[in-house]
Amino acid sequence: MDFSLTVEEREVRDWVRTFVQRELVPREQEVLRRERSGEPGLTRDELTELQLKAKESGFWGVQTPESFGGMGLSAVMTALIEAELGRSFVQFQFGGSADNILFHGNAEQQERYLLPTISGERKSCFAITEPGAGSDAKNIRTSAKKDGSDWIINGEKTFITGGNEADFTMVFAITDPEKGANGGVTCFLVDREMGWRSEYIDTMGEWGPAALVFEDVRVPESQILGELGKGFELAMQWIGRGRYLLPARAIGSCERLLTMAIEHANTRETFGAPIAERQAIQWMIADSGVELEALRWLVLHAAWQVDSGLDSRHAQSMAKLYGGVKANEIVDRVMQIHGGMGYTRELPIERWYRELRLLRIYEGTDEIQRRTIARNLLKGHVKVSGALG
C-alpha cells in the first residue's frame, strides 16, 4: 500500500503552499485589523485580484469540469489544496467554481446562472436551513404556491453562507405539503431583484451568515431548478458534495498552530529552562501531533472513496466529526502553551479559536455525524472491520 503523493499532487500542493505564504500570510495583520473594526477581511476587489493572479498560473475552477473551463481535479487533490489554504485564516477560495447542483440547470439556466457564476460575474447562495429546520432539513416550512404560471414564495431561511453578498439564491420550498420532503420540495433560482432580502447575522467569529426573507416573492415556472418536487434530492446532493473538505482545511490550520506551539515551547523559558522540557507541554505537543496525523488520513481516505466512486458518506462523517472535535482541542492546547499571550489579540490564536469552533456546528453538527455513524454501524451498513474492502 503506497501512501506517497504523486509527482503532480506534490507539485500542486507546493504551488498552493507557496501562494498562501506569499499572497495570504502577509495580509493577515491587516485582515485582523479590519475584522476588529467591523470591516471585511478581503474586499471583493482584493479577492478578485488574488483569484486572477492564481488564474494566470492555471488555478481556476479547482473542481469545475474542464469542459466548463475548470481544472477538474480529483477529490484527493482538492483536499490537499484545502489543507494548504487552511494554513492562513485569510478567507480565500480559488475562482471559477459554482455550486454542483447548478449543473442540473437547463441550457437557458446555465447561460444565465451557471456560466456567470463560474466566471465570477455572479454570486449565489444555497438556502435550505430555517429557524426550525437546521439538522432536520426535512422540516422546512418555506412555501411556494402556484399562481397561474408563477409561484409565490413565502418564508425565512437562516444562517445562509454568502447570503449577504449573493445576487441570486437556490431556495428550497414546499410545493406539495401532502408529500413533504419526498416529492413535495422544489428548488427555485431566485434573483435578489425578484424581491427577497437578506439580514446580516452577527456571530462570535468572522463568518457573517444571513437570514433571507421571502414575502410574496413571485417567480416564473422557468425558475425551477431540476424537476418539480425533486428539490430535496438536489439539496442532499449539495450537502454531500464534499463534507470532507471542511476538516481538510482544518488540517492546514492545525499544522500552522502546532508549528507555532513548537516554536514557542522551544524559546519560552520558565525557571531557567525552555517549557519544551516540561512533560505537561510535551504531552500536549505529542497528542496534537498524533491527532493531526489521524485527521489527515481520515480526510484523505474519505476523498479517496469519492474518487473511487464508493459510497463515502460514512467516511466523510467520520472525518467531519473527528476534525471538528480535534481541531478545537488542538487550538485550545496551543493557546494554553502560549499562556496569557495566546489569549491576547496580538497573536492570531484567538482568531482561529473562534473560527474552528464553527466546524463542530455547520454543515452537520457533531451530534448529527455521530447519529449517522452509529446508525450505519448498528444497522450493518458499514462493517466494524473497515470500509476498505
Q: Enumerate the active-site residues.
A: 363
Q: How far apart are CA 192 and CA 272, in angstroms?
A: 63
CA atoms 87, 92, 95, 97: torsion sign: positive
Q: Is 38 left (phi over 0), alpha (psi -120 to 50) or beta?
A: left
Please report, for the chain, how many H helices and E strands are present, in that order.
13, 10
Q: How far is CA 169 from the centre of its chain?
A: 17
C-alpha cell at 316: 466523510
SS3 147: strand
Q: Beta 168-174 vs 124-127: how paired, if at all?
A: parallel
Type and span of the H or E element at 168 = strand 168-174
Type and span of the H or E element at 216 = strand 210-220
End-to-end Cα distance, the chain: 13
Residues in the chain: 389
The secondary structure of 217-258 as a DSSP string is: EEEEGGGEESSTTBHHHHHHHHHTT-TTHHHHHHHHHHHHHH
Q: How far apart are CA 225 and CA 188, in angstroms?
A: 6
C-alpha cell at 90: 485569510
C-alpha cell at 99: 455550486
Identify whether the C-beta of residue 144 lies closer than 8 Å to the C-beta of residue 127: no
Q: How far is CA 50 from the centre of its chain?
A: 19
- Cα 165–Cα 166–Cα 169 angle in degrees, nearest 5: 150
Q: How far apart are CA 130 and CA 132, in angstroms?
A: 5
User: Alpha carbon of 151 to those of 51, 144, 148, 228, 368: distances in Å?
Assistant: 37, 6, 8, 12, 33
